Homo-oligomer: A and B are copies of this chain.
């Protein structure tokens, strides 16, 4: 999450990293998978994660790959199983970096609850 603003302020939002992050989190199934992973606060195998939703395990595997590429989860292979876990700190850090960049750019638009 680079903070460089080459063209416009908040241009960091257009980074590949931010883009991938939002794409990873915008699918309901992937979000369910993520919640399932946070639920145990540790590691889970693909099979274990797959219990979260009524979809084929191969699909879960693909979603986990997507989340992994986005830096949301990490994968550790042990024996014939692969253990996935949430990269909590990295994820929280990325989200806060985006929030920071937004505020640094557009100081404040406090509102009266207008839409």
Contact = CB atoms under 8 A, between A and B. Distances in A.
Of A32, A75, A87, A114, the most chain B CB neighbours within 10 A belong to A87
A1 interface: no
Contacts of A109: 85-89
Contacts of A8: 35-36, 38-39
Contacts of A14: 28, 31-32, 35
A19 B35 contact: no
B31 A26 contact: no
Contacts of A41: 9, 105-107
A13 B31 contact: yes
Interface of A: 8-11, 13-14, 18-19, 22-23, 25-26, 28, 31-32, 34-36, 38-39, 41, 68, 74-76, 85-93, 95-96, 98-100, 102-103, 105-111, 114-115
